[in-house]
Chain A
C-alpha cells in the first residue's frame, strides 16, 4: 500500500516537475553561498603550511657561518640530479661549499635533500612564486639560497595581498595570518 502510494507520489511529482524544481532550488541556494574563489594575485594570496615544500633555503649557524658541510649527500640522493656542490676547506679545516647550485627547473620538490642533510643546512621553505622566462635564471646559487625565506611559522590561510608589477611581478603581503579558506566550502 505504502509502496503504491510512494509510486503515485513520485508520478505526481514527476508530472509537476518536482525534480526540476529541486534542481532550481539547489542552484538558487548555491547562488547565495559564499564563493570559494581566492583572488590571487590581485587581492589575496595563500600562505602555505609549515610543512609545505617550496623553494629551498640554506641556513647559518650561530656564528653566521653557513651550516652546510659540503658532504654532497643531498646531491647524491637527489632523484633528478639538480644539486651541484663543490667543497672547499677554510683556515680552521672545516668543509664548506664553494659552490652550491640548485637547478629549480629540474627540481621536483620531493624534499629528500632535506631528509638526507646531516647538518640541517638545507630545507624546503615557504616561497612558491619564482617562475621565470628563462630556465637559466632558475639555477640558484649559494648566496641566493642563504637569503631565501624559511619555513612558514603559521600558515594555511588566505591573506590580503597586492600585485606589484613595477619591477618584477610580485605579490606582496604584510599579514602573517589569514582567514581559513576551508570555511567557505559548502559541505551539503
Chain B
C-alpha cells in the first residue's frame, strides 16, 4: 500500500512538472513581448483578451494548425528527431531540481522535489548537454546553409561555455561539501553563496546566458544574419518544441542561479513561505533575462569565443583556487 502511494505521488509530481513546464512558455512569451514593448515605449500585445493575455493561446493555436513542413532535401529522420532531442533534456533535468523542503498536505509530508540525488548538479549538467544535439541535428538535417551555420555556432558556443559554467559551480560544491542541490540550499541557510562567490556567480550567469542562447549570446539564431538559425526550416508544432525547450532552459538557468547562489528558498528579512521566496527569486532572474535581451546588442562570433576562453575560463579557475585556499 505504501509503495503504491509513494509511486502515485511520484507519478503525480512528474505529471504536474511536465504540465507546468509545457504551459509556462505561454505566460512567459506574453511577459517577454510585454516587457519588450514597454522598454521600446510600445504596448505589446493588446487586442486578444485583457491586455493581450490570451495572445499566447492564439499563437499556440496558430502554431498547432500550421503546416508541418519538411524540406525536400532534408534528412527526414533526424529532422523529426531533433525537436524531441531539444525538448526532452530540459524536462528531464527538472526531476533533479528541488523547489523547497516539504509541505504537509492532509497530515502527510510531501517533498517538493521528485528525487534527491546526491549528484544532482552533475546530473543537471550532463543531461542539459544532450539538448545541444537537438540543435545540431536540427541545423544539420534541414540541409540549409543558415541552419547549418546556426548549429555550427551553437556547437562552438556550447563547448566554450559549458566548461566555465562547470568550473563556476565547483566553488559552490566546495562550500556545501555536496553535489546534492538540496544540500547546497541547506548550506546557504545563513549566508547566501553570492556573498562568498560573486565571481563564480558572474561566470555562471554569463555562461548561463550563453547556454540559454539569449542575447547577448544568441548567435545560434541571430535573426539579423541567419534568418532564424538552426530552426529556420522548422514550422508548426516542431518549431513550438524548440521554443518550449528554449524557455525551459531559460527557466532552468534562473532556477539554478537561485539554488546555487541566491539561497534557494531561504528568505531574508521578510518572512514569506519558502516556496514563494523561491518563485519570486526565479521570477526576478527570468525578468533579468528578458531585460538583458532588450538592452544589449549581440556579441560578434570571435568576441564570443574570446570572452569564453580568455575571460570566463581564467576567472572560473581563479575562483576555484581562491575558494580552495580560503575555505579548505
Contact = CB atoms under 8 A, between A and B. Distances in A.
Interface in B29-74: 35, 37-43, 46-47
A106 B296 CA distance: 45
A34 B46 CA distance: 15
Contacts of B43: 35, 37, 39
B266 to A, nearest CB: 26
Nearest to A28: B291
A14 interface: no
B41 A23 contact: no
A9 B121 CA distance: 39
Nearest to A33: B41
Q: How large is the interface on A (under 10, 10 to 19, 20 to 34, 35 or more residues)?
A: 10 to 19
Contacts of A34: 41
Given A39-B46, A42-B47, A186 B41 contact: yes
Interface of B: 35, 37-43, 46-47, 291-292, 294-296
A31 B39 contact: yes
Given A20-B296, A30-B38, A35-B41, 11 more contacts: A23-B295, A23-B296, A27-B39, A28-B291, A30-B40, A32-B38, A35-B43, A36-B41, A37-B42, A42-B46, A186-B41
Nearest to B295: A27
Contact of A30 (B41, B46, B292, B296): B41
Contacts of B41: 30, 33-37, 186
A35 B40 CA distance: 8
B119 to A, nearest CB: 34
Which of the listed residues A27, A33, A186 has the most CB atoms from chain B within 10 Å of its own CB? Answer: A27
Contacts of A33: 41
A24 B288 CA distance: 10
A78 to B, nearest CB: 40
Contact of B39 (A30, A36, A186): A30
Contacts of A24: 291-292, 295
Interface in A152-187: 186
Contacts of A32: 38
Interface of A: 20, 23-24, 26-28, 30-37, 39, 42, 186
A141 B292 CA distance: 57
Contact of B38 (A23, A26, A31, A42): A31
Nearest to A185: B41
Contacts of B40: 30
Nearest to A39: B46
A39 B35 CA distance: 18
A133 B220 CA distance: 43
16 contacts: A20-B296, A26-B295, A27-B39, A27-B294, A27-B295, A28-B291, A30-B39, A30-B41, A31-B38, A32-B38, A35-B42, A36-B41, A36-B42, A39-B43, A39-B46, A186-B41
A185 to B, nearest CB: 9
Contacts of B295: 23-24, 26-27
B202 to A, nearest CB: 9
Contacts of A20: 296
Nearest to A30: B39
Contact of A35 (B37, B291, B292, B296): B37
A24 B39 CA distance: 10
A26 B41 CA distance: 12
A79 B40 CA distance: 41
A33 B42 CA distance: 10
A30 B37 CA distance: 10
Nearest to A34: B41
Nearest to B35: A31
Q: Which 4 residue pairs across A and B have the least CB separation, nearest first?
A: A27-B295, A37-B43, A31-B38, A35-B43
Contacts of B42: 35-37
B46 A27 contact: no
Nearest to A38: B43
A174 B112 CA distance: 57
